[in-house]
Amino acid sequence: MSLDAAQLRARTREFLAAHPPASTSREDFLSARFDAGLAWVHYPEGLGGLDAPRALQAVVEAELTAAGAPDNNPRRNGIGLGMAAPTVLRYGTDDQKQRFLKPLWVGEEIWCQLFSEPGAGSDLAALGTRAVRDGDTWVVNGQKVWTSNAHNARFAILVTRTDPDVPKHKGMTYFVCDMTDPGVEVRPLRQITGEAEFNEVFLSDVRIPDAHRLGEVGDGWRVAQTTLNNERVSIGGMRVPREGGLVGIVAKTWRERPELRTHDLHQRLVKLWVEAEVARLASERLRQQLVAGHPGPEGAGMKLGFARLNQEISGLEVELLGEEGLLYDDWTLRRPEIVDFAGREAGYRYLRAKGNSIEGGTSEILLNIVAERVLGLPSEPRTDKDVAWKDLAR
């Protein structure tokens, strides 16, 4: 029988009594929390969950937060938690789930995503990184790009081309790649912010065991859709309080710096504040829908709104601050683990927000997804749909 809120609250309190946060090391506490099924309650028992409704996770988090319990620093391993874990849960073998999910959730192993390529960014299905089977292993060669946190990652979710003789969507296979294996080279990509949170990754004769394949051979596109749908929700559907995120930062400046105010900026701030609140409520509604199943194309709409709002709000902030808004102190090449919008200058926020309409799927591609899969509009003509990948123009 599924647990209700009262039972889960009682279970969480019993756990806290047995593992007091003040006297339990962070590592031991997180490990025990996973084993108790309080990591993500909607996951199966033995895999960090209790087969409980997803919505009840909030009950657990409230009790743990009130007790001062440590979290697993989710921003540090956002790709692992938001994208890799749901994919492993849905397509992984029992051995894969046991091997990967706990160290991923606890934060012992960071994950990255090897999807985009120099010639296959928005059109992911056109990717050309080749995986050729050699007995019980696959030999992988190719290049990936825009890989967030590859410099810190132990594992990567990787999509490859295993059959070039069939149409592009049918010849892909999905793997877990060990980033410490021979042949994996990570190079930093310096951004307009001066940082290098993104990377390009070169794969040269990397041998991946078939035991690290997720899903069937040739079924990588379907597996990747699970990853991408979860990615858009994790980026665009993050839970924030009212007046949270960038709009809260700008509103705070507006209240504290009356000398900066103009009528025009006030009208724009009010408009963006309302739009941010609408997006927040829509995000809450989307998460409620997720309780009943897997994320769908609606997440693309949330990601679209997130990118547009971040860019417009950060632009408004720079205008509000005037010359002060152009200041940005730190142009040194840094290799950050997380993107810190709140703790940086307005100039940084403005520059970094430009990436929001590219990462996690470009806004142009997401508009197509919303048009076709949410609104039911006719799809764009695709002349390459039934052409073998090897015969495509490149």
Report the pLDDT value the prediction gives residue 119, as an integer from 0 to 100: 85
Token pair listed for 31 = 């490990």
Statement: residue 332 has pLDDT above 90 = no
Q: Which amino acid, 131?
A: A
Angle CA 362–364–368, to nearest 5: 115
324 an active-site residue? no
Tens of pLDDT, residues 157-176:
999 999 999 999 999 999 99
Amino acid at 317: E
Give 55-93 pLDDT, tens digit per residue: 899 999 999 999 999 999 988 898 999 899 999 999 999
Give the tens place of pLDDT for each residue, 138-160.
999 999 999 999 999 999 999 99
Residue type, 352: R
Q: Give the number of other CB atoms < 10 A from CB of residue 263.
A: 7
Q: Read off φ and ψ for residue 303, nearest 5 degrees.
A: -65, -40
Please check the confidence at residue 49 and state whether its pLDDT lies above 90.
yes
Q: Can you tell me whether residue 241 is helix, strand or coil?
A: coil
pLDDT of 382 strictly over 90: no
Closest of 30, 155, 144 to residue 87, by C-alpha:
155
Q: Would you say residue 11 has pLDDT above 90?
A: yes
Q: How confident is the model at residue 42 (pLDDT cuts 50, 70, 90)?
A: very high
CATH 1.20.140.10 domain range(s) in the chain: 237-374
pLDDT at 81: 93
The per-residue pLDDT for 115 is 95
pLDDT category at 288 given cuts 50, 70, 90 is low
CATH code 2.40.110.10 for 111-219: yes
pLDDT at 128 over 60: yes
Element (H, E) at 144: strand 137-144
Query: Is 98 in contact with 129 (CB distance < 8 Å)?
Result: no
Identify the band that residue 336 occupies on the pLDDT scale cut at 50, 70 and 90: confident
CATH code given to domain 237-374: 1.20.140.10
The per-residue pLDDT of the chain, averaged, comes to: 90
Q: Which of 235, 317, 232 is nearest to 268 (CA)?
A: 317
CA distances from 209 to 176, 178, 313, 342 (A): 9, 10, 46, 41
Burial of 89 per CB tally in 10 Å (0-12, 13-18, 19+): buried
pLDDT recorded at residue 314: 95
Largest distance between two CA atoms of the chain: 71
Which residue of the set 109, 195, 197, 231 is catalytic? 231
What share of the chain has pLDDT > 90, as a percent?
63
Supply 21's token pair: 């946060």
Give start-end residues of each CATH 2.40.110.10 domain in the chain: 111-219
Residue 275 has pLDDT above 80, yes or no: yes
